[in-house]
Amino acid sequence: MVENLRVALDKFPYSGQYGLKEVGIQADALEQGGLPELLKKNGCTVEEVFATKLTADEEKQYGEINHLGLANKHLADAVSAQLKNGVLPLGLLQNCNGLMGMLAGVQHSGGWKPLKVGLVWIDAHGDFNTPETTYSGMLGGMPVAISCGLCYDRLRRTCGLDPALPPKYVTMVAVRDTDPYEQDAIDRHDIAQITVDDLKGDSPAVDMEMERLSVLCDKIYIHVDADVLDPSDIPGAGLPVANGPTAKELADAIEVMFEYPKAAAFGVASYPAARDPDKKALKSVYMLYEATVKGAQSRVD
């Protein structure tokens, strides 16, 4: 058992969408709602609270996509340093466009050679669209495709994620709402799936996928978009999708995932802070962070 788990909170307030460079509501709300105290209560030491911020010179540069890439690079540098120091990074992400920075940080947490990074993508949506497949044009529907090198290569490289992830390094969990051409791309790239039914039953799918990724990859990043949960457990979700896992069901699966030594970092995106007056959604999200540290603590030190 790990007696004193050292963790860091990595706040990423940049959305990169609709001209909003920096919003910060989600990241700050996750921290200020009591997460550091919850982690300490669960036997963790919070080594750092890192807040991603562009430099003054970067703020002057042109373009929201460019700003998103630069901000992700700051996040990546923080995550990389934390992992090198034996600290578990916990991402508090404005939306899923923080994915690339988390992945890049894990990728460059070894020596000079980029590590092979697996991705467990837990979201009601695949976020596997490209500019050619998207119906909406929403950049937030593309981060997995970007991370896999299917579009926006300059953005990915600015984030520090290079090389791109091979699609076989990706496992999608509880994805159930995709655009038609997005689903075609997921099928053509043979992206592995863990279904909602797998999470609700006694399926071995979680262990099987963690074992598969552990063989293929050096480290694994586990990412949650809060809207993956059933709407009853995530009231106020921006893009709710019916028939999702409960917070308890997903927390149980995440705890199992972090029992695997190669599970190296965790992040939650899109907590609906402005639409959660009763803090029910916050309680659900905190269950996921708590499950992460419990799983990591159960490893043999």
Q: What residue ranges do the domains of the chain occupy?
A: 5-297
**Angstrom distance (rounded) from CA 72 to CA 53:** 10
Q: CA torsion, points 14, 15, 16, 19, in degrees to nearest 10?
A: -100
Whether residue 88 contacts residue 265, with contact meaning beta carbons closer than 8 Å, is answered with yes
Q: How far apart are CA 265 and CA 88, in angstroms?
A: 6
Residue at 263: amino acid letter: A
Number of other residues whose CB lies within 10 A of the CB of residue 2: 15
The angle, 0 to 180 degrees and rounded to 10, between the axes of the packed helices 247-257 and 205-216 is 40
Enter the tokens of residue 285: 């999200």
The burial of 195, by beta-carbon neighbours within 10 Å (0-12 exposed, 13-18 middle, 19 or more buried), is given as middle
Question: What predicted TM-score, i.e. pTM, was given to this entire model?
Answer: 0.97
| Partners of 46 in the β-ladder | 7
Task: Please tell us whether the domain made up of 5-297 is placed in CATH 3.40.800.10.
Answer: yes
Q: Is 293 helix (H, G, I), strand (E, B) or coil?
A: helix
pLDDT at 16: 76
- Tokens in use for 22? 């920096």
Q: From first to last of its 301 residues, what are the pLDDT tens digits of the chain? A: 777 899 999 999 988 765 445 556 889 999 999 999 999 999 999 999 999 999 999 989 988 899 999 999 999 999 999 999 999 999 999 999 999 999 999 999 998 999 999 999 999 999 999 999 999 999 999 999 999 999 999 999 999 999 999 999 999 999 999 999 999 999 999 999 999 999 999 899 999 999 999 999 999 999 999 999 999 999 999 899 999 999 999 999 999 999 999 999 999 999 999 999 999 999 999 999 999 999 999 997 6
Q: What is the pLDDT of residue 301?
A: 62
Q: Is 296 helix (H, G, I), strand (E, B) or coil?
A: helix
Q: Is 182 helix (H, G, I), strand (E, B) or coil?
A: helix
User: How do the residues of the chain divide into helix, strand and coil, expressed in percent and rounded to 5?
Assistant: 45, 20, 40
| Cβ-contact 210, 254 below 8 angstroms | no
Transcribe 124-145 into DSSP letters.
SB-----TTT-SS--GGG-HHH
Q: Which amino acid is at 219?
A: K
